[in-house]
Amino acid sequence: THTYGTGQYNFRYIVSTEHGCRDSLVYEDLVTVYSSPVAQFSWEPMNPTVMHPEVTFNNLTIPQSDENKYYWEIQYDRDNKVSYHTLRDVNPTFQWETDGSDISGNYVVRLIAMTENLGPSGNIVECRDTIENSILLVNDFLQFPSAVTPNGDGYNDKFIIRNLLEGLG
């Protein structure tokens, strides 16, 4: 085996007998190595929230080409590791849906970038790259206590604002 860079390569087959007789065959452009895309993406906003759960994905795949195909797999249920929506846009927008329950947490987003090339053999040659990131959906629904009773019974002894995170804003 040998690893080649992108391009077309000739193949030369040399045969020698034990008595030194040699012959060879050359096959022009017998091997074609296609380039593979390098998948990469970012998203906006960087810190999506429960109150604003819509994210726009920016496809940063190199090279960007109209011939590339993109498959976005976006986890929609944080408690189910195989719950994915598949989108095929270059730069899709996705919104996590809530039924009133807490949807904050980490969600996996995977981008598969692929090219399909018609090889000299007549077969389709797929070249692909995959990248996966985790997106944190922050719970920005602040909850305030309705009463504070600092009597030492363990209930409402302190004034605590729930879902308040430092450094995000």
Average pLDDT, the chain: 87
pLDDT confidence band for 6 (50 / 70 / 90): confident
Q: Give the model confidence (pLDDT) of 110-158 as tens digits.
A: 999 999 888 878 888 899 999 999 999 988 766 667 788 888 888 878 8
8, two tokens: 């077309």
Is 69 or 160 the better-scoring residue by pLDDT?
Answer: 69
Q: Give the model confidence (pLDDT) of 100-117 as tens digits.
A: 778 889 999 999 999 988
pLDDT confidence band for 12 (50 / 70 / 90): very high
Is 39 or 6 the better-scoring residue by pLDDT?
Answer: 39
Classify 31 as helix, strand or coil: strand
pLDDT confidence band for 95 (50 / 70 / 90): very high
Torsional class of 122: left (φ above 0), alpha (ψ -120 to 50), beta (otherwise): left
pLDDT above 80 (res 71): yes
**Which residue in the block uniquely carries the two structure tokens 């922050």?**
138
Residue 169 CA to chain centroid, in angstroms?
Answer: 25
Q: Which residues contact 164 (CB under 8 A, 6 or more apart)?
A: 142
pLDDT above 80 (res 80): yes
pLDDT confidence band for 91 (50 / 70 / 90): very high
Amino acid at 132: E
Percent of the chain topping pLDDT 90: 49
